[in-house]
Amino acid sequence: MSLEKQIMDQMKEAMKAKDAVALEALRAIKSGIILAKTESGAKDELSSDDEIKLLQKLVKQRKDSAAIYSEQGRQDLAEPELAQVAVIEKFLPAQLSEQEIEEAVSKIISEGGFSGMASMGQVMGLASKQLAGKADGKTISTVVKKLLA
Find the mean pLDDT for residues 75-95.
90
Cβ neighbours of 39 (radius 10 Å): 8
Among 99-103, 111-115, 130-134, the range with the most confident prediction by mean pLDDT is: 99-103
> Does residue 123 carry a pLDDT above 90?
no
Please indicate, yes or no, whether the overall pTM of this predicted structure exceeds 0.85: no
Please state, in angstroms and rounded to a whole number, the distance separating the CA atoms of residues 62 and 42. 25
Indicate the DSSP class of residue 92: S
Output the pLDDT for position 1.
59
CA dihedral 45, 48, 53, 57 (to 10 degrees): 70
Q: How confident is the model at residue 100 (pLDDT cuts 50, 70, 90)?
A: confident
Please state, in angstroms and rounded to a whole number, the distance separating the CA atoms of residues 1 and 35. 20
Output the pLDDT for position 61.
93
